Chains A and B, each alone.
Chain A
Amino acid sequence: MDISKEIIDNKLTVKVSGRLDTTTAPELEASLSEALDGVEALTLDFTDLEYISSAGLRVLLATQKRMNGQGSMRLVGVCDVVMEVLELTGFSSILTIE
């Protein structure tokens, strides 16, 4: 998994590529938690995300909960395979997916 971040004012875009699984999710979690201070609009760019498991979903849920208190969060570029997992778990209705 690769993570790249771009911040403009209080808008943060995080691009996640590769696999978001049990072994990589803690890295994303750590990376987000240090970057979210003062962020009001978070965009997670999943264009190159190939795979997500429940460990990844946990990070998404925790991040969504945090952003609910300080601004907004959206997912962009979600591929079919990842979308299917989001739908099966009801995440598609609690996250903003564009």
Chain B
Amino acid sequence: MNEIKGELNNNQVTLFLSGHIDSGNAASVEQEVQQIITEDAKTLPVLIDAQDLQYISSAGLRIILRLRKTNANIHIINASPEVYEILDMTGFTQMMQIDKAYRVVSVEGCEVIGQGANGTIYRIDRDNVVKVYNNANALEEIQHEREVARLALVLGIPTAISYDVVRVGDSYGSVFELLDAKSFSKILATQPERMDWCVEEYVDMLKKIHRTLVPKGDLPDIKETALGWARFMQDHLPQEYGQKLLSLVEAVPQDDHMIHGDYHTKNLELTGDEVLLIDMDTLAVGHPVFELASMYNAFIGFSEYDNNTIKEFQGFDLETSKTFWNKVLCAYLNTHDEETIRSIEDKARIVGYTRMIRRSIRRQGLETEDGRAEIKLWTDKLLELLDRTDSLYFDRNGITVEAKVSNLHKIMDFVEGRLQKTSCPMNVIMQINVAVEEIFTNVSSYAYAPGTGNVTVGVYTEDDNSEITIKIIDSGQPYNPLTKEDPDITLPAEDRQIGGLGIYLVKQVMDEVKYEYKEGCNVLELKKYLNEN
């Protein structure tokens, strides 16, 4: 009997079907089945390997149906597309688990177009790419990545979704349609004149990801992962530094917005004139400092010990990489203020070094000379940063300065810069400026007197530009400026007080003004609606 073989082990029956099974041989196949499934094997799960099965008729299917009466748990694997179609048409796919045979794809000689944390992406023909997973047993990872990519797409992030799972050598791959795609790394490496365009598109996508609110529980929280990194470092840093690192990560506030987790230029593809995000398996939620950390590592950190790393990985040199990174930070943080940019970069570097040191140690870095040298380099930098950093938190929509009148121009430049990027009309920009100046001047003069302290001004716009919200936060003495009595503006000049106009003006030019004292801070929120009149 050629059409069937069987074996019994580990409390499971495996049946290998092959060739054609139809009314001509069904009876003898069934006899064979009965011989394989002895009395004691009844009720055991049955795995049917259909790898060599070319055709099965209804007579053959009836054997499986009868088998199901004694052995209810039947799982068919490696069904060819033809056999799968028969099983699907006859409703078998709804009765039992049936897995299709994986198409076999070779990537020999194919161009590598992307490189992710857990796999490599090859172009297999003009329209298709395959991501081959490093892990030989990657089916679960593939499933995870498909699910998060689908989630991202539904939430409005342009990404490619895999349409097939294939066998590649000893591993598995996910196949995507990616027409004529070119990674941003390749564009930067071959068309340096497009640098600014790349920065703009790259930052637009980054902002889009970070604006995306993810339903609770749909994605892992990167902060939990980062706490794991920080705990790992306890054995490798002087005690007080280890403690500080851990408390810095613990203090990062919960954030339910999306982060990509591995956002470098190989993972952004230009196809036609559409920009697509790929390699979605690291998708998570959390504060953007964790995103900037992995970006810093990709563009600079990993190349700090061996400057050629970047070229090998991205195809462009360290100079290009540094220029790109700085332009990206400028655009992402909405500022050209060097001090602000470097202070936020420092926060990202703390998380970045932590991650790289841990990675190197886990890859037996301490056992090689090069490994020890890079671990020492990163550790020295990390310790130096820990010495002068008190928080990993930042708000890219805000600017923090010392509350003193001479910093007014910094605040005004920031606010005006942000507003000019919206559709906000010039006269409204001026009104908002007047309001911000009044509050900032008040805080600078009174909040911390006679000492000093910081003030943060944030500018938040809605996607549709329907409203603008300004938040001014200080941690000085609690004071609600809105309790101040309005001046009588109908009095003649002689009777009017010099001063006292500031808060009144704020209330006049803004549509909504709210004050609250929260977590030791004065928070003043000013709103302006744009779509009215």
| B409 contacts the other chain (CB 8 A) | yes
Q: Interface size bucket, A side? A: 20 to 34
Residues of chain B in range 393-438 having any CB-CB distance to chain A below 8 Å: 405-406, 408-409, 412, 426-427, 430-431, 433-434, 437-438
- Shortest beta-carbon distance, B526 to chain A, in Å? 14
Q: Tell me the complex Cα distance, A34–B470, Å.
A: 39
Residue on A with the closest CB to B488? A90
A60-85 interface mask toward B, CB cutoff 8 Å, 1 = contact, 0 = none?
01101100100000000000110011
| Cross-chain contact B406 with A54 (CB below 8 angstroms) | no
Residues of chain A in range 41-62 having any CB-CB distance to chain B below 8 Å: 51-55, 57-58, 61-62
| A4 contacts the other chain (CB 8 A) | no
- Once A51-B430, A53-B434, A80-B427 are accepted as A-B contacts, the answer to whether A94 and B441 lie under 8 Å apart by CB is no
| Cross-chain contact B489 with A90 (CB below 8 angstroms) | yes
Q: Interface size bucket, B side? A: 20 to 34
Chain A residues whose CB sits within 8 angstroms of the CB of B494 once the complex forms: 65, 68
Q: Tell me the complex Cα distance, A58–B499, Å.
A: 6
Chain A residues whose CB sits within 8 angstroms of the CB of B406 once the complex forms: 23
Residue from the list B426, B430, B493, B508 in contact with A61, Cβ < 8 A: B493
Residue from the list B405, B427, B492, B499 in contact with A84, Cβ < 8 A: B427
Residue on A with the closest CB to B503? A54
| A10 contacts the other chain (CB 8 A) | no
| Cross-chain contact A88 with B437 (CB below 8 angstroms) | no
| B154 contacts the other chain (CB 8 A) | no
| Cross-chain contact A22 with B492 (CB below 8 angstroms) | no
Q: Tell me the complex Cα distance, A80–B425, Å.
A: 13
Chain A residues whose CB sits within 8 angstroms of the CB of B431 once the complex forms: 84
A8-23 interface mask toward B, CB cutoff 8 Å, 1 = contact, 0 = none?
0000000000000111
| Cross-chain contact A85 with B434 (CB below 8 angstroms) | yes
Label chain A's interface by main secondary structure: helix
Chain B residues whose CB sits within 8 angstroms of the CB of A68 once the complex forms: 493-494
Q: Tell me the complex Cα distance, A80–B426, Å.
A: 10
- Shortest beta-carbon distance, A58 to chain B, in Å? 5
Q: Tell me the complex Cα distance, A85–B434, Å.
A: 9
Chain B residues whose CB sits within 8 angstroms of the CB of A58 once the complex forms: 498-499, 501
| Cross-chain contact B509 with A88 (CB below 8 angstroms) | yes
Residue from the list A53, A64, A65, A80 in contact with B437, Cβ < 8 A: A53
Chain B residues whose CB sits within 8 angstroms of the CB of A61 once the complex forms: 493, 496, 498
- Once A21-B437, A61-B496, A65-B494 are accepted as A-B contacts, the answer to whether A54 and B502 lie under 8 Å apart by CB is yes
Q: Tell me the complex Cα distance, A90–B508, Å.
A: 11
B469-511 interface mask toward A, CB cutoff 8 Å, 1 = contact, 0 = none?
0000000000000000000011011101011011011001100
Residue from the list B427, B441, B489 in contact with A55, Cβ < 8 A: B441
- 22 A-B residue pairs with CB within 8 Å: A22-B441, A23-B405, A23-B408, A51-B433, A51-B434, A52-B434, A53-B437, A53-B438, A54-B437, A54-B438, A55-B437, A57-B501, A58-B498, A58-B501, A61-B496, A65-B493, A68-B494, A85-B509, A89-B501, A89-B504, A90-B489, A94-B492
B-side residues, CB < 8 A to A, are: 405-406, 408-409, 412, 426-427, 430-431, 433-434, 437-438, 441, 489-490, 492-494, 496, 498-499, 501-502, 504-505, 508-509
A-side residues, CB < 8 A to B, are: 21-23, 51-55, 57-58, 61-62, 64-65, 68, 80-81, 84-85, 88-90, 93-95
Other than the known A58-B498, A61-B493, what 6 A-B pairs have Cβ atoms closer than 8 Å? A22-B408, A23-B409, A51-B434, A53-B505, A54-B502, A85-B434
| 10 tightest A-B CB contacts, nearest first | A90-B489, A54-B502, A94-B493, A88-B508, A81-B430, A54-B501, A22-B441, A53-B437, A64-B493, A53-B434
